[in-house]
Structure 1
């Protein structure tokens, strides 16, 4: 079998060309009109580059060749500032790494599309500038203890400016790393040692106060014990004296009563003295009589004649 080529037929070429163009048009219509917006995204549809409308998550359609779509994330986003050099008020350099988290509100994507096409870079520049300003207000020795406060100041400044200029909400600012210079490390080391010495001195002072208070308490206890002992001894002596005085008083009162009784008896009977002498005489005469001392005589009562004599 033999084929004969008679040359290209213009009509055939035109027909196939029309079929090819038609196929391209159909394909472009099929794939160029439909588009999908992901969750937590918002689409900005523009017509010939000018803002037309926004589109939420899901399947949408647009005019092919005329409209285009740009997606904006409404989820939390972040920019990282890697080892940006800042200087403190006393001209000490620090390399800071910081993260800034932010959100793009659904209703602000038109403003971003029309006026802030590179908003991530704007947030980066703003945060870096506020960070340098915050560190520049502090001495090198204050940075470690004021780290949280510095973060709060940066966040407040960046959040206020980002919302005002771009309509972007800043939710978090975090300093993740501080790379100190050698001079900075030396200053921090000296400060740490000084604080340790101050802490130790304070601990020693407090211990001395505690020891002094303990000694004072012990001395007071000893003094109280001595006072109590003295008071007890005094009470004992007083009680003994009072007892002796009472005994003496009772004895004196008894002797006085006896004397009064004897006097009463003497007054009642003249022979009471003789009777008393007779009671006390032991029946013996004195062994020695000196001078002209008379021999003691006792008056004896005259006895009547005895019966039978």
Structure 2
């Protein structure tokens, strides 16, 4: 029987062959297209062959075996995990609720082992339980007042403890944050009252120190004034002493001068007997005394006896 219809067209068998060819081409194209895959930057591609971990693909275009290989991506970027209302007790049995978060990441080299042991949800399986455990352990080593006053040290010790615990798992902990620590209302009131008391004590200590400084300033000023007075008194005493010494020296010099003058006069009179009469004559004003004592001589008049006889 001829496969051509009376009008010369293709029969049903030809149509089936065409449909099969098209389907084969589509399937082949699908297989070829599914053999290529890309890994984005900031991700690691874990290649699974028949369900088993086979390799890790870096960012870029890659080839895989169709229908055999499967690719699962893990982020190598920094991820943030939030944990609200983490319950913990302090060393002095004070309950608290912590609102926490942790920044973490993995390396491409660790992606294969992490997926093989923990799968895609490795953070929920290992990071969250470890963080809760380490937080409660470290929190319990602090008293409640210390937690309030040294919160940064608490966060640092939790971070170090968590890093050490997950280091072998290939997880890198970048930082831990405690956004809020909520103690009971009664304890927070007690802490507030204690802080107010400490502030008051600090204020009183500062006032005391200020008063001590002011007293020291006054004492220093008084001491300086007293020293100045002493110096001034000493200066005045030294000045009076110098003045008295100068006056004594002047008196001594005048006395020595007068004594020298008297000695000179005495020596002159001794060496010149007529000097006394000459001085009297120089000092006589030419007037005779109005009263004469009987037997006395007329002042400054001496008569040469030889002349009288002539």
Structure 2 counterpart SS, 1:200: helix
1:275 positional shift: 6.2
Task: State the distance in 2 between where 1:214 and 1:286 align.
Answer: 88
* Matching residue of 1:51: 53
* Matching residue of 2:89: 87
RMSD over equivalenced CA pairs, Å:
3.2
1:106 positional shift: 0.8
* Matching residue of 1:7: none
- 1:202 partnered with 2:205: yes
Task: State the distance in 2 between where 1:298 and 1:43 align.
Answer: 162
Deviations 1:135-185 (A, max 9, x none): 211111111331111121111111122112x11111111222222321331
Task: State the distance in 2 between where 1:273 and 1:147 align.
Answer: 119
Task: State the distance in 2 between where 1:37 and 1:54 align.
Answer: 10
TM-score (ref. length: structure 2): 0.80
Task: State the distance in 1 between where 2:46 and 2:150 align.
Answer: 43
* Matching residue of 1:178: 181
* Matching residue of 1:228: 231
* Matching residue of 1:243: 246
1:276 positional shift: 6.3
Deviations 1:221-279 (A, max 9, x none): 21122112212211221122112102211221122112212321342244556666775
Deviations 1:12-47 (A, max 9, x none): 8xx69x949858844752564333322211111112
Task: State the distance in 2 between where 1:269 and 1:295 align.
Answer: 30
Is contact 2:90-2:141 (8 Å) kept?
Answer: yes
Structure 2 counterpart SS, 1:143: helix
Is contact 2:104-2:173 (8 Å) kept?
Answer: yes
Structure 2 counterpart SS, 1:178: strand
- The verdict on how the C-alpha distance between 1:286 and 1:163 changes in structure 2, with shifts beyond 3 A counting, is farther
Task: State the distance in 2 between where 1:146 and 1:210 align.
Answer: 32
Is contact 2:115-2:122 (8 Å) kept?
Answer: no
Structure 2 counterpart SS, 1:221: helix
Structure 2 counterpart SS, 1:52: strand
| Structure 1: gaps spanning 5 or more residues | 1-10, 288-293
1:202 positional shift: 2.3
| Structure 2: gaps spanning 5 or more residues | 1-11
Task: State the distance in 1 between where 2:288 and 2:223 align.
Answer: 73
Is contact 2:84-2:99 (8 Å) kept?
Answer: yes
* Matching residue of 2:100: 98
Structure 1 counterpart SS, 2:179: strand
- The verdict on how the C-alpha distance between 1:245 and 1:295 changes in structure 2, with shifts beyond 3 A counting, is farther
Is contact 1:28-1:64 (8 Å) kept?
Answer: no
* Matching residue of 1:8: none
Aligned residues: 288
* Matching residue of 1:254: 257
Is contact 1:141-1:187 (8 Å) kept?
Answer: no
- The verdict on how the C-alpha distance between 1:262 and 1:60 changes in structure 2, with shifts beyond 3 A counting, is closer
Is contact 1:104-1:167 (8 Å) kept?
Answer: yes
Structure 2 counterpart SS, 1:297: coil
Task: State the distance in 1 between where 2:216 and 2:139 align.
Answer: 46
* Matching residue of 1:192: 195
- The verdict on how the C-alpha distance between 1:60 and 1:276 changes in structure 2, with shifts beyond 3 A counting, is same
1:280 positional shift: 8.4
Aligned mate of 2:137, from 109, 133, 136: 133
